[in-house]
Amino acid sequence: MTRQERLTIATSEAPEAIGPYSQAIQIGNILITSGQLGMDTAGEFPKTVAEQTERSLLNVRVILESAGFGMDNIIKTTIFLQDMDDFQKVNEVYATFFAEPYPARSAVQVAKLPKGGLVEIEVIAVK
């Protein structure tokens, strides 16, 4: 079995990685993003969890688009929340980015997110 080439995906339209990781990795027709916080390219966070969710998903979208993928290619999302009480607010924004059939999804509460973020979203997409 030959090893498929691993492509590093990076775009200046999303925040730079804040550690030793890539915005996304593509292997063949599969793209996996790192978790995207709800901050802009200047590293600034909006105030509310709804605004941060929108920003996180916008970051996901530009990363996907930079590799020739779209939101409709997403098959799995994972949402990390600072506070599970924000689940409904996140859901309301999340629903505006997807149509049926929706991706599979997990949502978990975590003790803390990098840089004090309220939400972080990672995805797996397939063409």
Which pLDDT score is estimated for 4? 82
Sign of CA dihedral 96, 12, 25, 46: negative
Which pLDDT score is estimated for 89? 98
Q: What is the pLDDT along the chain (127 residues), one digit of tens a residue?
A: 567 899 999 999 999 998 999 999 999 999 999 999 999 999 999 999 999 999 999 999 999 999 999 999 999 999 999 999 999 999 999 999 999 999 999 999 999 999 999 999 999 999 9
- The full 3-state SS of the chain, as one line of letters, equals CCCCCEEEECCCCCCCCCCCCCCEEEECCEEEECCEECCCCCCCCCCCHHHHHHHHHHHHHHHHHHCCCCHHHEEEEEEEECCHHHHHHHHHHHCCCCCCCCCEEEEEECCCCHHHCCEEEEEEEEC
The token duo for 50 is 């709804």
**Type of residue at 31:** L
Which pLDDT score is estimated for 43? 95
Which pLDDT score is estimated for 2? 63
